[in-house]
Amino acid sequence: LQESAQLATERGDDEFAISQLKRAATRDSAGMDVFEELAQLLERSDRNEELIELVEEQLSKSEEGSDEQAALWLKLGQIHEMRLADTESARSAYERAVGSHPALADAVDPLERLYRKAERWDDTRTLLERAVDADGDDLVRTFGWRCTLGDLCFDKLEDIDAARAHFEAALEIDPDAMRARQGLERIAIATGDDDAILVAFKREAEITSDRTRLAFLVGELARIHEENGDAERALHWVTRLAAASPEDRSVVEHMARLQDDLGQSEALAESLEQLDGLLAPDERGANRRRIGSLRRTLGNDEGAITAYRRALSLDPDDLEAAHAIDALLDETAVAADRIEIKRHL
């Protein structure tokens, strides 16, 4: 009968093939292959009621709690959802599938979708928590469910402790997972927990390559460290951002300010050199005079003179720079150099 059905299918006679397979299915020796071939033909012919009857008949023969039974409930759910748009019957079938197999992803995922559509948040949580508890082998799948639970508990159920626990469990599976890290960040921000924000932001800032995201994280880290009186830690993060975004004036200025606060004159002079190219032309003279002053304080007279000369190159009437150079040129300086500076005074 199966061979006859196959020949009929090959010549395009699905009606005869279906009749042959139905006869074959009544025999005690009929296996799952007969069911699958018949189901495929009924689907192709849009004979949905017959298809449902076929699946339900197989369900009646299946062993309670077996993999076969779960697969049949899943099949029935898919027919109701995809072919008949009967979400209630589909949901019921999916629930039967996960009843014996809580981690059956092919049933968990569509059932979660239907629960969400109906805004059945508690049912969604129960479904996913049972799936997580039952699924010990597929860590990728468990990770996804953990993060989904974290989002659900935070956004819909307002259970912050549970959300935090799920995100932390996800990080145990993948310590570098951005989704879980950002979940903990959202919780920390919502609760105003600066210590938790520091931990969460540090984790992400260590691994992110997104400069926009890094700028936000570093800004928050620096703010919290500065508010806590820890300028050195604030400078650590701002310096990292400056290395990633050397063309960002605000970042370089922030770095220079922290270096100034900490009395790191040598590093500050280098930062001001970096900043010089980012300033508007009318701002550079003051910046170069400041570099000269720092170099002079550090005992680097040559570097100081160079900085002041660069200021003079912008404005020949810069008396402050000219006086500073004049004071730095000692009696052994080349006469021509002293004469040239005197012209600016």
For 166-216, give the DSSP string.
HHHHHHHH-TT-HHHHHHHHHHHHHHT-HHHHHHHHHHHHTT---HHHHHH
The least confident of 89-93, 218-222, 309-313 is 218-222
Identify the residue with better confidence: 21 or 190. Answer: 190
Whether pLDDT at 331 is above 50: no
Q: What percent of the chain has pLDDT over 70?
A: 90
- What is the distance between the alpha carbons of residues 302 and 84, in angstroms, rounded to a whole number? 85
Output the pLDDT for position 1.
54
262-273 pLDDT tens trace: 999 999 999 999
Which residue blocks in the chain are alpha helix, DSSP H?
A: 2-10, 14-25, 32-44, 48-61, 67-78, 87-100, 105-117, 121-134, 139-155, 160-173, 178-191, 194-205, 211-227, 231-244, 249-261, 265-276, 281-297, 301-314, 319-328, 335-342
Output the pLDDT for position 196.
84
DSSP state for residue 295 in the 8-state scheme: H
230-254 pLDDT tens trace: 999 999 999 988 998 899 999 999 9
When pLDDT is cut at 50, 70 and 90, the band that residue 344 belongs to is: low
When pLDDT is cut at 50, 70 and 90, the band that residue 200 belongs to is: confident
Whether pLDDT at 302 is above 50: yes
What SS3 state is found at 337? helix
**HEC profile of 304-324:** HHHHHHHHHHHCCCCHHHHHH
DSSP state for residue 63 in the 8-state scheme: P
- What is the distance between the alpha carbons of residues 1 and 177, in angstroms, rounded to a whole number? 54
When pLDDT is cut at 50, 70 and 90, the band that residue 193 belongs to is: confident
Quote the mean pLDDT of the chain: 89
37-76 pLDDT tens trace: 888 889 888 999 999 998 998 899 899 999 999 999 999 9
Residues 6 or more apart whose CB falls under 8 angstroms from that of 39 comprise: 51, 54, 55, 75
Q: What percent of the chain has pLDDT over 90?
A: 62
Residues 6 or more apart whose CB falls under 8 angstroms from that of 229 comprise: none
**Global confidence as pTM:** 0.64
